Amino acid sequence: MNAILTATMRSTRAELLRMRRWPAVWVTLGAWAALALMFGYVFGYLAYKTGDNSFSNEGESMSSVLRDLMPISVPDVLLQGMPMFGGALMMVLGAIVAGSGYGWGTWKTVFTQGPSRSAAVAGSLVATTVYVVGTVLFTLVLYAGVSLAIAVSEGQHVVWPSAGSVLESVLAGVLVLEMWALAGFALGTLARGPALSVGLGLVWALVVENLLRGVGSLLGAVEALTHVLPGTAAGSLVGSLIGVDAGGGTPGVVDAISGTQAAWTVLAYVVALPLLSIALVRRRDVA
């Protein structure tokens, strides 16, 4: 047991070093930061300053738009883009982390000369989780700083959200992004390459689930299927915390199932997907 734990820790350190020096990882995370900032604050602030809310905050009063930009609303803003945009980019991250090892031949070397396959894959999964948690915390700090700057510039009284609401949003955000990152990792392992797994993941997250939810409104059997899909679970979990309308029409935020059911479904994926990745690696040839 100690040998497996030691091997996993060494694999984790190696993966963290690889990811830290890999431009593709930082480009992916940078894309999320840019999207999060634009949809979280830039568009809303432009709508407030120009008095035109026809795009990002349709139907809201200017006072409501301004309130969404204040520090008190940081927990809600933190979550609203994660079910779709954040999830899609975390899926890309997981797919390239797992798939690139096959394209470069790294996994073959590790599996034949390094620690056990389970320890190697577990280390890679832990390293991916570290980046997911770091992404959520960085986004929280970014949003807090931007909302504070807007509040000060607009002469508004600064009211911070409660620690409980912040912790709830952070935990939900980590669960949602972790699920998508693990799904990407499983796809990268299944496809043995980053390109196909990234393509399949993006098509699923951005297109297929939305189409199924649309069809589900007409067919009961399809609707029942959508209730166990990862996108529906992630969107319903976020929707239960911030309210569907509070998402400002953000794609992916839904109320298809209850928050409790959504949380358990997301957690089930978080547990099952790493086991699937490890099982695939252990049972297949390294060639």
120 — pLDDT class (breaks 50, 70, 90): confident
pLDDT of 196 over the 80 cut = yes
pLDDT in tens, 142-170: 999 999 999 999 888 889 999 999 999 99
Identify the residue whose tokens are 């239960």. 240
Around Cβ 222, how many Cβ atoms within 10 Å? 15
pLDDT in tens, 235-269: 999 999 988 764 446 677 888 889 999 999 999 99
| CA–CA gap between residue 272 and residue 266 (Å, rounded) | 10
Identify the residue whose tokens are 């809600």. 76
pLDDT of 60 over the 70 cut = no
pLDDT of res. 187 = 92
pLDDT in tens, 62-96: 777 888 899 999 999 999 889 888 999 999 999 99
pLDDT in tens, 1-37: 677 788 888 888 988 998 999 999 999 999 999 999 9
pLDDT of res. 247 = 42
**What is the span of the domain harbouring residue 165?**
2-283
Residues 6+ apart with CB under 8 A from 202: 88, 91, 92
| CA–CA gap between residue 199 and residue 187 (Å, rounded) | 10
Higher pLDDT, 204 or 124: 124
- If one counts the domains in the chain, the total is 1
